[in-house]
Amino acid sequence: MVKKAHFITGKGGVGKSLISAVLARYLSQYEQNRKDKILLAELNEHSFFQDYLNLKRISYKPINWVSGVDISQWSPQECLKEYALHLLKVETLYKLFFENPVSRSLIQVAPGLEELALLGKVTSSPRSHGPAMSYDQLVIDSFATGHFLSLFRAPAAMAEAIQFGPMGEQSRGIDQWIRNPEFTHLHIVTLAEELPITEAIELYQTLKSEFGLVAHIYLNKMTGLTKSDLEKLKPDVAEVMTALIENEKMAVKKLMDAKIKFIELPLINSLESNTLINELALVLENKKVRP
Amino acid sequence: MIKITAQTKTLIFIGTGGVGKTTLAASMGVGFASQGKKVLVLTIDPSKRLAQALGIQMDGDPHKVFLGKNNSGGELWACVVNHQKTFEYFIRHAASQFSEGKKVSEEKLAQLLDNKLYHQLSGRLSGSQEFTSLITLNRYVTSGEYDLVILDTPPSQHTWNFLRAPEKISALFNEGIAKWFREADGVSTSLLKKIVNIGTSQVLKALELLTGSQFIKELSAFFQAIQKWQRPLEEYILNCHRLLISAQTEFVLVTALDPSRLIEAQKLSREIRTQGYKLTTVVINRVPAWLSTKISTDSPRVQNLISYYQGLENDLQERLTQFKNQLKVYKCYELRQNTEDVASLQKNFDELVSLN
């Protein structure tokens, strides 16, 4: 039974996928509920984790990554297929529907259907609707800011457009659960640069006012440099690093001015994915982050 | 140095989010305009700073950018793609093509523009942003008003979303699918047709079971509304696809100094070339310039940072050989982020064209 769903979002290129993996690892390793089974789900069309974590083929069917964490890749089509099979129960009817090229393309373009399929899958446990999932928490490596907002707005928009019938009913149910702060946990990743920071703050405020959800913010890749570190450096290098320091100060100030709590994550000097993930998970533990 | 061929009329910047596509596209626009071309830059979501620098207006129309002193005769225009307006343009354009000069029936148009599903398609929901930027691109390239149109693609997870937009959306206007819904409400009467339609009605029943009858109603209303203009709509989408694979269209792949990004870029460049798109240039953006100099420091934090970037650089060197086989790869140093004026964009361009 899924008790919590964590969504990771932020501007493109801030490290959403990495932080998703870190969070999944952290939740399985350090949280008090250590026995929890975690599913890390990516919504990418082409799997990111397969190469990044050096795993065998990642697909819709979860595969094990580390102890307590499985990984799968969710496409809207597969989510819908699974749900339809569950609901229609008749294999032939389902085949007729899904193996028909026309309906396949219909599913792809029917507005809102893909979003509903994804969020329907996420909220299937608490809604007791659809096939059961044997995980306690979901960590979803989601879309970047704009696309993420459309994803979250889809159920309400659909419920408004289609008020009657199963579709309207489902849309309302999904909308209710993604607004439930006990169930839905949002994580915004950002960098100490102007564009990502501005975008993160706007997204935080939008999510708060529109959905009543308070997101966790992660300020990624902080160097923690200070002026004193720059002594003896050649002027051109010092200039670049001064800009870095200024950016980090700016980011912290902007977040504090907006009265937003955030978690600083240090720049880890490694390109090896498992080292990165383990060290960052340790940082979350030391900071006693309780998502 | 980065250059485009003389015949190129369309330049498309692709790559994952956060790699600096927009700044690069704007810099190229300023640069080519200063060389005497009439250039249009299309963008989706410009930063406030860039919007200010170029005097961009968000109304979805091209506006001329003031370039300061410019004796080349070139012009720079900038346009932010407006989702809703573009969709309406698309429908109206197709409708007018169809009526061949006769007045388009506003009533028929209103039927479609008021459809709830059309609203969602053109409005709040995602997925069709790629499509509208493609329509806008096609619109201005075919207008013949510009020597060069530069497109900054939407920040999607994967460039495939953009390249497959025509294919995906054309399914919506596909004859087969529309027929389905038009005949769903029992208009068709012939016995033979009824027999043929049994399979279809089974499928519709399944769909109805999943979604409810109201959804089906809206869908069939939607398809009935577009029925008239289906051919020209489909034709337009086909033209969009033709534009992408045209010999006058060049792609520039932008990526960043990061192993996972580079792997993605490598895969993408391989695939995109086999699909027949003209990708010649890869820009690895935001490489710290100071990496090339030797740095001595006592600070462990600075040391840490340097060794981190050194690691990235070494990783890049290993990959470059594979990349360079078929493509021109440029390492681009951190460009001015504070692009508050046209002059700094011009400087960016000068640096870009002098890259090796």
pLDDT in tens, A194-221: 889 999 999 999 999 999 999 999 999 9
pLDDT, greater one: B60 or A101: B60
Nearest Cβ partner of B302 from A111, A229, A236? A229
Nearest Cβ partner of A240 from B168, B171, B288? B288
Q: Across the interface, do A105 and B307 touch by the CB < 8 Å criterion?
A: no
Nearest Cβ partner of B120 from A147, A161, A166? A161
pLDDT, greater one: A125 or B294: A125
Q: What does the pLDDT read at residue B175? A: 60
Q: What is the mean pLDDT of residues A147-159?
A: 88
Q: How confident is the model at residue B341 (pLDDT cuts 50, 70, 90)?
A: confident
Q: Which among B24, B48, B126 is the top mutation candidate for probing chain A, defined by the most A β-carbons within 10 Å of its own β-carbon?
A: B126
Least confident of A175-189, B26-40, B58-72, B290-304: B290-304
Q: What is the mean pLDDT of residues B242-263?
A: 89
Q: Which among A16, A90, A105 is the top mutation candidate for probing chain B, defined by the most B β-carbons within 10 Å of its own β-carbon?
A: A105
Q: How far is A119 from chain B (nearest CA, A)?
A: 14
Q: How confident is the model at residue B189 (pLDDT cuts 50, 70, 90)?
A: very low
Closest CA to B161 of A18, A147, A120, A98: A147
- In chain B, where does the domain assigned CATH 3.40.50.300 lie? 10-83+128-168+244-353
Q: Which among B13, B117, B157 is the top mutation candidate for probing chain A, defined by the most A β-carbons within 10 Å of its own β-carbon?
A: B157
Q: How confident is the model at residue B280 (pLDDT cuts 50, 70, 90)?
A: confident
Q: How far is B297 from chain A (nearest CA, A)?
A: 6
* Beta strands, E only, B134-278: 148-152, 249-256
pLDDT tens, A261-284? 999 999 999 999 999 999 999 999
How far the first Cα of chain B sits from its last, in Å, is 5
Nearest chain B alpha carbon to A164: B214
pLDDT, greater one: A230 or B50: A230
pLDDT, greater one: A120 or B124: A120
- Alpha helical stretches, state H, A179-270: 194-211, 235-257
In chain A, where are the structural domains located?
4-223+261-286
Residue reference for tokens 């408004």: A160
Q: What does the pLDDT read at residue A200? A: 96
Residue B195 has pLDDT above 50, yes or no: no
Kindly list the distances between the CA atom of residue B51 and the CA atoms of A178, B2, B82, B281, in Å, as whole numbers in the listed order: 34, 25, 15, 26
Closest CA to B24 of B342, B335, B280, B328: B335
Residue contacts between A and B (CB atoms, under 8 Å): 204
Q: What does the pLDDT read at residue B339? A: 56
Contact A268, A279 (CB under 8 A): yes
Q: Is B305 on the interface with A (CB under 8 A)?
A: yes
Nearest Cβ partner of A114 from B127, B298, B308? B127
Chain A residues with CB-CB distance to B19 below 8 A: 12-13
Q: Which among A54, A98, A140, A229 is the top mutation candidate for probing chain B, defined by the most B β-carbons within 10 Å of its own β-carbon?
A: A229
The two structure tokens encoding residue A155: 């159920």
Q: How confident is the model at residue A132 (pLDDT cuts 50, 70, 90)?
A: confident
Nearest Cβ partner of A88 from B172, B209, B312? B209
Chain B residues with CB-CB distance to A232 below 8 A: 296-298
Domain B10-83+128-168+244-353, CATH homologous superfamily name and number: P-loop containing nucleotide triphosphate hydrolases (3.40.50.300)
Q: Across the interface, do B157 and A196 touch by the CB < 8 Å criterion?
A: no
Q: What does the pLDDT read at residue B95? A: 82
Q: Is B294 on the interface with A (CB under 8 A)?
A: no
Q: How far is A121 from chain B (nearest CA, A)?
A: 14
Nearest Cβ partner of B210 from A166, A267, A270? A166
Q: What is the mean pLDDT of residues B163-174?
A: 73
Q: How far is A273 from chain B (nearest CA, A)?
A: 10
Q: Across the interface, do B304 and A51 touch by the CB < 8 Å criterion?
A: no
pLDDT tens, B112-168? 888 777 776 676 544 567 888 889 999 999 999 999 999 998 766 567 777 877 777
Which residues of chain B from 201 to 220 reach within 8 Å of chain A, CB to CB? 202-203, 206-207, 209-215, 218-219
pLDDT, greater one: A246 or B263: A246
Q: What is the mean pLDDT of residues A177-185?
A: 97
Q: What does the pLDDT read at residue A96? A: 66
CA-CA distance, A84 to A98, in Å (whole number)?
9
Q: What does the pLDDT read at residue B188? A: 45
Closest CA to B211 of A80, A66, A249, A17: A80
Q: How confident is the model at residue B17 (pLDDT cuts 50, 70, 90)?
A: confident
Determine what percent of chain B is predicted with pLDDT higher than 70: 81
DSSP per-residue string spanning A117-164: HHHHHHTTTTTT-SS----SEEEEE---HHHHHHHHHHHHHHHHH--S
Q: What is the mean pLDDT of residues B177-189?
A: 55
Contact B355, B252 (CB under 8 A): no
The mean pLDDT of chain B is 80
Residue B5 has pLDDT above 60, yes or no: yes
Q: What does the pLDDT read at residue B199? A: 59
Q: What does the pLDDT read at residue A8? A: 98
Q: What is the mean pLDDT of residues B330-337?
A: 70
Q: What does the pLDDT read at residue B198? A: 56
Q: What does the pLDDT read at residue B192? A: 45
Nearest chain A alpha carbon to B23: A195
CA-CA distance, A139 to A36, in Å (whole number)?
12
pLDDT, greater one: A271 or B340: A271
Q: What does the pLDDT read at residue A216? A: 97
pLDDT, greater one: B156 or B95: B95
Determine what percent of chain A is predicted with pLDDT higher than 70: 91
CATH fold of A4-223+261-286: Rossmann fold (3.40.50)
Burial (Cβ within 10 Å: 0-12, 13-18, ≥19) of residue B328: middle
Q: Across the interface, do B308 and A267 touch by the CB < 8 Å criterion?
A: yes
Q: How confident is the model at residue B83 (pLDDT cuts 50, 70, 90)?
A: confident
Contacts of A238 (CB under 8 A, 6+ apart): A230
Nearest chain A alpha carbon to B263: A51
Chain A residues with CB-CB distance to B264 below 8 A: 46, 48
CA-CA distance, A249 to A243, in Å (whole number)?
10
pLDDT, greater one: B112 or A63: A63
Q: How confident is the model at residue B67 (pLDDT cuts 50, 70, 90)?
A: confident
Residue B197 has pLDDT above 50, yes or no: yes
Which residues of chain B from 94 to 153 reach within 8 Å of chain A, CB to CB? 116-117, 119-121, 123-129
Q: Across the interface, do A111 and B267 touch by the CB < 8 Å criterion?
A: no
The mean pLDDT of chain A is 89
Q: Is B314 on the interface with A (CB under 8 A)?
A: no
The answer to whether ipTM exceeds 0.90 is: no
